[in-house]
Amino acid sequence: MPRLTTVIVSLLIAALLYFTLVAGIDGARTWAAMQRLDWLGWMAICGLSLFNYALRFLRWHGYLRWLGHRLPLIRHALIYVSGFALTTTPGKAGEGVRAVYLARRNVPYAHTVAALFAERLLDLLSILVLSLLAVLSFTGYVYWIAAPLAVIVGLLAIMHNRTLLKAAQKRVEQPQNLVGRVLQVAVHAWERAFVLLSWKPLVSGLAIGCVAWAAEGVSVYLIAERLGLDVALTLAIGIYATSMLIGALSFLPGGLGSTEAAMTLLLKLSGVAAGAALSVTLIARIATLWLAVVLGLICLGGLELERRRQPQSDTQQGHIT
């Protein structure tokens, strides 16, 4: 696990570069738009982001309960949100830091990896579903939706193939080295994910994901409305989802740059002027991405301070399988 100071420094550098770029592109216009939003507007869009985080946490909490773990709700929420500090890692892989803290509460790494995989997969599927709202208006972008959807359907088919799972389990029964042990964890995670992606948790998880990510799409609509722009609610949700999808497919840390470019372009194609489209995009990213990072840092800092105050011998250790 990276040191807290290293995480903070790397995030400060990323934020500095990001906001320096914003200032260089059209900082004055963006700042003016942020002021026009007023405090009620900021409360509304930040509240929608918090609603998104809360729903996703409850789904995550349910996953671990499904796997047999009963964790204190507040403490588990702190651990979950701490992963947001590393949202700007490629594919949000850094959110796997949760595994370190959950291991101290006797949650096996394989279970956390399985929950993380299921969460990422259902988030992607939810965003694909919501992106269809934009495809209805921008038919030329249908391949951005169809290709990932086909991949996910194929992946789900592989994940539910018991023959492949049993063959993989047999291959990693007696690992001889570090690579073998890592593969063993991956196969155990696959086995647990098999449970999480059965019909009941799959459908409920997808429904929660759609509502959660739609909430952040509503924030794009509210920002546009506050700035006097005419963007339909369904289109705003679809634009947000499509831009998040493109950002995820770019594999850039946090989708930085690619998400903003896609959202700005789609807003322009919907009839919003270039400067206004950029302002809406940047405000939305502050209220979604950067709010999550700040909250994650606060929770991560709190957990690290608590860990350092407790003797190592008192710390509950997790299991690798």
Distance in angstroms (rounded) separating the CA atoms of residues 99 and 192? 15
Residue range 23-79, pLDDT digits in tens: 666 667 777 777 788 889 999 999 999 999 999 999 999 999 988 899 999 999 999
In a domain, 299, yes or no: yes
Q: Shortest CA distance to 186 belongs to which of 117, 96, 95, 123?
A: 117
Q: Shortest CA distance to 52 belongs to which of 237, 232, 201?
A: 237
pLDDT at 220: 96
Distance in angstroms (rounded) separating the CA atoms of residues 142 and 145? 5
In a domain, 319, yes or no: no
End-to-end alpha carbon distance in the chain: 19
**Mean pLDDT across the chain, nearest whole number?**
82
Burial environment of residue 292 by CB neighbours within 10 A (0 to 12, 13 to 18, 19 or more): buried
pLDDT at 320: 43
Domain that holds residue 92: 4-314
In a domain, 179, yes or no: yes
In a domain, 139, yes or no: yes
Q: What average pLDDT score do residues 192-200 get?
A: 77
Whole-model pTM over 0.85: no
pLDDT at 141: 62
SS3 of the chain: helix, strand, coil, percent, to 5: 85, 0, 15
pLDDT at 177: 79
In a domain, 321, yes or no: no
Contact 292/49 with Cβ under 8 angstroms?
yes
Rounded to whole angstroms, what are the CA distances from 33 to 4, 29, 37, 261, 314?
34, 6, 6, 18, 51
Task: Band the pLDDT of 315: cuts 50, 70, 90.
Answer: very low
- Please count the structural domains in the chain: 1
Distance in angstroms (rounded) separating the CA atoms of residues 214 and 52? 8
In a domain, 34, yes or no: yes
pLDDT at 121: 84
Distance in angstroms (rounded) separating the CA atoms of residues 284 and 152? 27
In a domain, 320, yes or no: no
Q: Is the pLDDT of residue 191 over 90?
A: no
In a domain, 286, yes or no: yes
Contact 303/78 with Cβ under 8 angstroms?
yes
Residue 293: which residues within 8 A CB-CB, separation 6 or more? 11, 15, 84, 85, 87, 88
Residue range 141-151, pLDDT digits in tens: 666 667 777 77
Q: Is the pLDDT of residue 292 over 80?
A: yes
